[in-house]
Amino acid sequence: MESKACSHHLLRRILARLLDYSFFYSLLILPLFFTSLIPNEMLHLMIGALIPLFWIPIEAFLLSTFGTTPGKSLLGLHIKNDQEDTLRFHPALKRSLNIWLSVLACSILPLTIFSSYRSYKQLKRFNKLKIDQKLSSTVYLKKSSKIRVAIASALVFLYSIFFLAEYEMRDVLISDKSFFSSKLFKEEAGMWTAFNDPRGEFVIHFPSSPKTHESALPTSEGKDPLPLSEIKIVQDKIEYNLSYTILPKSLTKWGSSLVLKGSLKLLAKHTPGGAKIYKKSTTKFKNHPAIDFILIRKGGFESMGRLVLIKSKLYKVEVTFPANKKTEIAEKSNIFLQSFTPK
């Protein structure tokens, strides 16, 4: 049965396209993100926005081979020419490209809304899009069922929830239990010097007596810097550092996960010489929300450490070392990180 330009079939078309994009993203793009092969979040967002463009040749292949796509098939939609045969690849490619350019307006959201409404008016007036008129192609509805629409709507809803929470899910799924060693510090306690916080809030052990330093941590433009307390020692170009600051209530209201991720970005940005986040993993440290990280720094140095959020106080436990000494100091680095004991 040939589809008509009415709201019922328009909904099917919209749902079918959203499902196709979701399936494509889940099967080909999401695995790269979850395995950190797309480590940069901005790059991930850019790739996500270009999914409709990447989908064009795949959609053309599916239409020229099967006359439908996974999303369209679920909703009973098929595209054929006037002879009721599947489109050849070139016309199918031309149709898919035209949909992206004319209907979706190159995925530019404000323009997409306007161009989609214009396309709806075309459907209502001519029962076909302009590109279908040019190609003599027709959208057929072979299986009409409200159950199919309900299933498709539920899938789109679930995908939407998943996309909103995918960063949290990735952290859970790829969280590496052995990111840092869990070797108990007490095994090496006799070889290290304990530093007891004067206020009695924590204890941490250093290879030798550390020095304290007070400074300020820059924040966003127009806002006052945060007071930063540092306890550190440098031995053979290896720096052992514990620093902490008190976060304002305007930041802590966003939840521990967002606070930790945002703080890590801020700390990396204001690291002397700059630093790139190479790896990160949300975790729990002695029942407190935390995030483990590895930074690549300029001059052939790396940092490995942990941010721990205890109420409004943010602690950073970090070891910085020449990259060529990574294996050599791995055990000491892990011992230092594990020695931090909040009270």
The tens digit of pLDDT for each residue in 249-306 reads 877 777 788 889 888 988 888 888 889 888 888 888 888 999 999 999 988 899 999 9
In contact, 191 and 180? CB cutoff 8 Å:
no
DSSP string, 186-211: GGGGGGSEEEE-TTSSEEEEESS--E
pTM: 0.57
Q: 263: which 2 tokens? A: 């703080």
Q: What is the pLDDT along the chain (343 residues), one digit of tens a residue?
A: 444 434 447 788 999 999 999 999 888 776 765 555 555 566 667 777 888 999 999 999 999 999 999 999 999 899 999 888 999 999 999 999 999 999 988 888 788 889 988 888 888 888 888 899 999 998 988 776 789 899 999 999 988 877 766 655 555 554 444 456 555 555 455 578 899 999 999 999 999 999 999 988 887 656 788 899 999 999 989 999 999 999 888 777 777 888 898 889 888 888 888 898 888 888 888 889 999 999 999 888 999 999 999 989 999 999 999 999 888 888 888 889 989 999 8
Output the CA angle 252-268-306, nearest 5 degrees: 65
In contact, 85 and 61? CB cutoff 8 Å:
no
For domain 185-342, give the CATH superfamily: Mog1/PsbP, alpha/beta/alpha sandwich (3.40.1000.10)
Question: Any residues with CB less than 8 A from the CB of 146 and at least 6 apart, and which?
Answer: none
Mean pLDDT taken over the chain: 84
CA 204 to chain centroid:
33
Judging by beta carbons within 10 Å of its beta carbon (0-12, 13-18, 19+), is residue 173 exposed, middle or buried?
Answer: exposed
**Domain extents in the chain:** 7-174, 185-342
Distance, CA of 341 to CA of 196 (rounded, Å): 10
Q: Which helix (H) or strand (E) holds 161?
A: helix 146-174
Neighbours of 132 (CB within 10 A): 20
